[in-house]
């Protein structure tokens, strides 16, 4: 009996039938590794997913440092999205930085009963008096959608009243099936009201956008350092350490590099459709992953001097880390890992683990869609359900004034055929037979798979991290890197290897036993004694 069958066998028939479609024993299944994804979690199951608001405010919008972001809702929602992602931002001359602040309307019961628009206006007025921002975002949470507050009307009022840019995001937590819905909503509004408004001159023809890079633990800075060293100009990063001015000028880049496919692919596609800038799926996690990405970018620009410079930088960066990587590989070779996170991380980190001789036995996404698992070739066969239709999909038309192409259309078509641009192959193609691909892994399944597979380390988020550690298995967060990072690029690979080695060779959790395993829960005497 396979590990999947052992876990499924403990469910009742209804849950069994549902969850079976979300589990793939790679190379040992009847459905050609097809998986169900982006559908509702069964009520009652302890999922590790986040909500629509978490995806919108917590992931995509949160790192934009000079937009004052007001959460219209109860204070608990604001706390959830305040500083927990560790998206870092540098101080810049002339650019506001509100990352350290938490802004909330702190809705109370009377606001739910009588409406909260008046309180939202008061909050905007107070924010203007104290901080004088040029941009305000309004993010709504569940109660706002239920009572019908019109945050878009309030945003228009703020623009007329104060002469600022104010954008409302109807990202109530209950929308969609996971935080993926929030990504989509954020992408739509940024495309509508931000991208294309700038007119900053970009002189470097090797100009790129870095999409889906949220600068967790400084990842974006390390990636940008490498790109600049080769000779690229990073026009805008979506959205780690970004400013509104950066995002306004994103349409002026010649290529968009997509790191986290799920959270930002909507913008990547719309920028290409409207302004002509193609996108390329990249991976700056792992030594081989970073090298492959740098060579692929250089191939797009078709410049011999750039290709030569790319190889020089790769050789130099490798020379600085080879000894460290060899040492850590000697410590980690033969270990096994399980990865369950969001975005593309469950895919990317397998490359870095492979660099260190660690085999991945299980991987899955919290909020991935089928194309994250199986590749974009499945998109024509994905039928939108009611939950997907609940999230608006906007269409854009080419901008005749700002549309531009770095390469002739014939060259672009050739690169598309070679799958260099406008393509993502998905997770499954890089996972060997005998490993497991699980969508929406829940609390129960986490415990069961850890018992069966016994990985040396479990990479996860904060909610499931301690499930593993209580089982005596080391766990590291890949959503926010606990308190470490960066893990991207060449230097980041060494940081990651160091942290994993320290954890595995300090197995404190394996020595801890739950008190109920050694101490009686109840004590007493039999009657009559």
Domains, in order of start, for the chain: 52-194 (3.40.50.1980)
Do 333 and 386 form a contact (C-beta atoms < 8 A)? no
Position 529 scores a pLDDT of 55
Question: Binning pLDDT at 50, 70 and 90, where does residue 447 land?
Answer: very high
Query: Partners of 436 in the beta sheet?
Result: 25, 362
476 is catalytic: no
Q: What are phi and psi of 443, to 5 degrees?
A: -60, -50
Do 123 and 91 form a contact (C-beta atoms < 8 A)? no
14 is catalytic: no
- Is residue 322 pLDDT above 60, yes or no? yes
Catalytic residue from among 49, 183, 184, 479: 183
Tell me the pLDDT of the chain averaged across its residues.
Answer: 94
CA distance 414 to 275: 20
- Which candidate, 379, 492, 362, places its Cα nearest to that of 428? 362
Mean pLDDT of 28-44: 90
Segment holding 212, helix H or strand E: strand 207-213
260 is catalytic: no
Do 288 and 351 form a contact (C-beta atoms < 8 A)? yes
- Is residue 55 pLDDT above 60, yes or no? yes
Do 238 and 267 form a contact (C-beta atoms < 8 A)? yes
Q: What are phi and psi of 481, to 5 degrees?
A: 60, 30
Mean pLDDT of 197-218: 96
468 is catalytic: no
Share of the chain above pLDDT 90, in %: 84
CA 250 and chain centroid, separation: 20
Do 227 and 278 form a contact (C-beta atoms < 8 A)? no
Segment holding 458, helix H or strand E: strand 457-460
Please give the angle made by the CA atoms of 16, 22 and 24, to the nearest 5 degrees: 105
CA distance 412 to 405: 9
Segment holding 479, helix H or strand E: none
Do 255 and 52 form a contact (C-beta atoms < 8 A)? no
Q: Locate all alpha helices (DSSP H) within 232-343, ordered by sequence.
A: 244-248, 261-275, 287-301, 304-332
pLDDT in tens, 262-303: 999 999 999 999 999 999 999 999 999 999 999 999 999 999
Catalytic residue from among 72, 85, 348, 491: 85
CA distance 244 to 236: 9
Measured CA to CA in angstroms, residue 474 lies from 373, 376, 443, 510 at distances of 26, 34, 16, 8
Evaluated on CA atoms 377, 381, 384, 385, the torsion sign reads: negative
Catalytic residue from among 52, 54, 171, 468: 54
pLDDT in tens, 450-463: 999 999 999 998 88
Share of the chain above pLDDT 70, in %: 100
Mean pLDDT of 471-480: 91
Position 528 scores a pLDDT of 62
Catalytic residue from among 51, 186, 488, 497: 51
Position 527 scores a pLDDT of 73
When comparing pLDDT for 230 and 385, which is higher? 230
- Is residue 466 pLDDT above 90, yes or no? no
CA distance 376 to 424: 6
CA distance 448 to 286: 29
- Is residue 81 pLDDT above 80, yes or no? no
C-alpha neighbours within 13 Å on the C-beta side of residue 148: 2
pLDDT in tens, 494-517: 999 999 999 999 878 778 777 877
CA distance 372 to 140: 28
Do 249 and 236 form a contact (C-beta atoms < 8 A)? yes
């Amino acid at each position: 009996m396979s590990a999947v069958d052992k876990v499924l066998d403990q469910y009742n028939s209804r849950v069994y039938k549902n969850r079976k479609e979300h589990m793939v024993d790679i190379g040992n299944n009847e459905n050609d590794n097809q998986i169900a994804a982006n559908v509702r979690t069964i009520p009652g199951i302890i999922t590790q997913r986040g909500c629509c608001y978490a995806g919108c405010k917590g992931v995509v919008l949160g790192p934009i440092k000079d937009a004052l972001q007001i959460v219209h809702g109860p204070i608990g929602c604001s706390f959830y999205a305040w500083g927990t992602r560790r998206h870092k931002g540098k101080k810049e001359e002339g650019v506001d930085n509100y990352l350290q602040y938490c802004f909330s309307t702190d809705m109370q019961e009377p606001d739910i009963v009588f409406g909260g628009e008046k309180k939202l206006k008061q909050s905007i007025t107070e924010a203007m008096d104290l901080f004088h921002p040029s941009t305000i975002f309004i993010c709504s949470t569940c109660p706002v959608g239920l009572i019908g507050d019109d945050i878009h009307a309030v945003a228009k009022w703020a623009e007329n009243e104060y002469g600022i840019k104010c954008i409302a995001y109807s990202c109530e937590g209950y929308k969609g099936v996971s935080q993926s819905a929030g990504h989509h909503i954020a992408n739509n509004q940024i495309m509508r009201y931000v991208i294309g408004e700038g007119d900053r001159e970009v002189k470097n023809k090797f100009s790129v956008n870095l999409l889906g890079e949220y600068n967790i633990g400084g990842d974006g800075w390390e990636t940008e350092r490498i790109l600049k060293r080769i000779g690229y100009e990073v026009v805008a990063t979506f959205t780690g350490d970004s400013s509104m001015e950066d995002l306004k000028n994103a349409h002026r880049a010649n290529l968009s590099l997509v790191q986290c496919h799920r959270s930002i692919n909507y913008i990547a596609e719309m920028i290409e459709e409207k302004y002509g800038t193609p996108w390329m799926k990249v991976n700056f996690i792992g030594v081989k992953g970073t090298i492959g990405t740098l060579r692929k970018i250089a191939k797009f620009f078709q410049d011999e001097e750039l290709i030569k410079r790319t190889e020089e930088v790769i050789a130099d960066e490798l020379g600085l880390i080879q000894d460290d990587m060899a040492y850590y590989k000697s410590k980690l070779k033969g270990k096994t890992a399980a990865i369950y996170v969001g975005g593309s991380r469950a895919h990317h980190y397998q490359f870095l683990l492979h660099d260190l001789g660690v085999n991945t036995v299980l991987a899955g996404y919290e909020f991935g869609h089928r194309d994250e698992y199986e590749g974009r070739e499945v998109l024509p066969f994905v039928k939108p359900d009611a939950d997907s239709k609940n999230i608006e999909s906007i269409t854009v038309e080419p901008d005749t004034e700002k549309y531009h192409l770095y390469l002739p259309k014939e060259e672009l078509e050739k690169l598309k055929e070679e799958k260099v641009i406008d393509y993502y192959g998905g997770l499954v193609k890089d996972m060997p037979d005998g490993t497991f691909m699980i969508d929406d892994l829940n609390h129960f399944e986490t415990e069961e798979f850890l018992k069966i597979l016994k990985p040396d380390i479990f990479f996860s988020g904060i909610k499931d991290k301690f499930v593993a550690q209580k089982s005596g298995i080391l766990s590291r967060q890949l959503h926010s890197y606990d308190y470490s990072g960066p893990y991207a690029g060449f230097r980041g690979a060494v940081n990651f290897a160091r942290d994993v080695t320290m954890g595995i060779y300090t197995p404190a959790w394996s020595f801890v036993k739950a008190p109920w395993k050694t101490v009686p829960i109840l004590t007493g005497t039999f009657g009559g004694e």
